[in-house]
Amino acid sequence: MKSCESLKEQIRALDGQDYTAYQSLRGGWAFPHFELVMQRIPKDPYAPPATGVYRAIVPRGRAGFRSIDTASRTREVALRDFLARNFHEQCTRINGGRRGTGNSGIITIAEPGQSVLERTSIFIDENVIEARFFLGLPAAGRAILSDIAAKMLFEELPRIVQASLFAENLDLHALEKHLSTTEDAAFLRESLSSAGLVAFIADGSVLPRLSGVEQKPLETPSVVAFRSPERLRASFDLPNAGCITGMGIPKGVTILVGGGYHGKSTVLQALELGIYDHTPGDGREFCVTHPAAVKVRASSGRRVANTDVSAFIDNIPTGQAATSFSTENASGSTSQAAFIAEAIESGAKVLLMDEDTCAANFMIRDKRMQELVAKEHEPITAFVDRVRVLYEEHDISTILVMGGSGDYFSVADCVIQMIDFAPRDVTRQAQAIAARFPTGRAREGGGSFKSPRERIPLGDGLDPHNEYGQFRIQAATTRQIVFGRTTIDLSDVDQIVETAQTRAIGRAILHARQYMSGSNELAQIVSQVMEDVRRDGLDVLDSQITGDFAQFRGLELAAALNRMRGLEVKQAP
């Protein structure tokens, strides 16, 4: 291990040289309170942060976290999440920002969102606490700026490390709040099934967000805190917060109704992200959903490969078999049918839908349309005729926002009306209306719901090299992965919340290739990848240490594989 003084001398000697001379700094350097490892130094000042890896390593005993209870995995993940947030905050406060060409002058770490996630940006074991971050070594054009580099490495970075990775400099009350809130939310989510629920929203929750692209809570005097209607009220005794009450959404079919702008879509959006724990102050700390809940929507133009959509579509005029349907350009209704079939194949237990993002002809076919277009001329069986049997035969619940059709009253177990952002249980009224005003429509699609046939992905289509033969797996946004020559569009996969998750999914696709033997089904392959991650951590996805991965679900990995153009899929025998 070389000393930081020798590093300082070496940096001075690089002044004015070409940017590639920074490569000579790779290796470990001993600072007074931590070790700096320059793991991967970009060869270009314009290189994105994800291409560089720098590690600040602090002995755990010296960091002072021995007394912090991290006995459970939940609390350890929460500690890592808390430290990542503090490191990012201190980078913003202390670092001088861009100084020079491209990303010169930046010190940053993968930015956490509102969810508490396992991340590779902070690594902890019994011996060390390690931050993996990006440091944009400065240049003017391609000429090294040694004075700024010295300031970053010997003034700014030590202050950031001291302020964010040493317990004596942290708000330990806030840390314990972060850990206990995460622990309580995880306990609450695990308690849903035994209580006969698929979701829960605590009284006092603040569900509205700042904007459609900003997940921080809306903080205005007009915001209405959530309060459960009496008939749906449930209570739980949490390990840290004690007894809480709120609205429990039961297993079965639940319909959210109400006029426009009254909050029904806001509730559903909170539920779709209730699969994650949230930071204290988020407003949704105790808004939790079954961990296998999937938001389903239509997505015209997506690819579908050998998928069994026969539960919803049959007698296709082109003659193609609905049990092994393929297209490079799915319609809205076909894409939604495929989404549900893929979700069931991947283990979904709750379907979340909002009529605003669904295909209208997939959701309902009313009496008048049935009279005009005979069933033998309509391949689609509407979801209203499948949602009930989906629960009764397969224990798959549905929560559906529906403001335009009362036909769903006849198949619902629970109907919740949002009025001025307040929920009301109107199940009895809805059932009475359904009895008084029969729709007269005929139920279509037959009786039982046969599970979609399993599929076997083949690894031949998984080449991570682009047209120039370069290895390329990238994710610049939460909704897109570049994998070799292929761009995977995830615009309809709503439950990915951070780009770090998308990056990890891209590498997980490559990791999955080793299990594509030609006989393993998609669900088995995804399960094996997730088991590897559970056992060895997210680092198992990359041969090199990286700081820009965050935890994802197998459901999203399966969704990415299903949307990968060029991936060959065959059906299981």
Query: Which pLDDT belongs to residue 448?
Result: 84
Which residues neighbour 439 within 8 Å (Cβ) at sequence distance 6 or greater? 366, 367, 406, 407, 410
317 has pLDDT over 90: no
138 pLDDT above the threshold of 90 = yes
Integer Cα distance of 276 and 486 in angstroms: 29
Q: Which residues contact 501 (CB under 8 A, 6 or more apart)?
A: 117, 478, 549, 550, 551, 552, 556
Q: What is the mean pLDDT of residues 77-97?
A: 96
Closest CA to 462 of 478, 474, 475, 473: 473
Classified as helix, coil or strand, 320 is: coil
**Is residue 55 within 8 Å of 37, Cβ to Cβ?**
yes
- Quote the CA–CA distance of 183 and 187 in Å, as a whole number: 6
What is the pLDDT averaged over residues 189-202?
Answer: 98
Query: In the prediction, which pLDDT does 349 show?
Result: 98
Radius of gyration of the chain (CA): 26
Confidence of residue 320 (pLDDT cuts 50, 70, 90): confident
Average confidence (pLDDT) over 140-149: 96
Higher pLDDT, 241 or 446: 241
pLDDT band at residue 50 under the 50/70/90 scheme: confident
Q: What is the pLDDT of residue 90?
A: 97
Query: How confident is residue 71, by pLDDT bands cut at 50, 70 and 90?
Result: confident
For 55-69, 164-178, 453-467, which range has the lowest pLDDT when averaged over its residues? 55-69
Number of residues that this document lists for the chain: 573
Count of alpha carbons within 13 Å of 329, Cβ hemisphere only? 0
Cβ count within 10 A of residue 533: 22
Least confident of 258-262, 338-342, 549-553, 554-558: 258-262
Tokens of 569: 């899929």
Per-residue pLDDT band at 573 (split at 50, 70, 90): confident
Return phi, psi of residue 482, to 5°: -100, 115
Q: By the 8 A CB rule, do 224 and 385 touch?
A: no
User: Residue range 42-69: average pLDDT?
Assistant: 89
Segment among 444-453, 455-464, 465-474 with least mean pLDDT: 444-453
Q: Token digits for 124?
A: 């902890």
Amino acid 409: pLDDT? 96
- What pLDDT shows up at residue 215? 84
pLDDT of 461 above 90: no
Alpha-carbon span 36 to 144, nearest angstrom = 20
pLDDT bin (cut points 50, 70, 90) of residue 319 is confident
Q: Where are the domains of the chain?
A: 2-170, 455-571
CA 177, chain centre distance (Å): 23
**Segment 300-327 mean pLDDT:** 92
Average pLDDT on 494-500 reads: 96
Residue 178 has pLDDT above 80, yes or no: yes
**Chain segment 100-119, per-residue pLDDT in tens:** 999 999 999 999 999 999 99
What are the pLDDT digits (tens) for 366-390? 999 999 999 999 999 999 999 999 9
pLDDT at 479 over 90: yes
Average pLDDT value for the chain: 95
Which helix H or strand E contains 288, and what residues bound it? Answer: strand 287-289
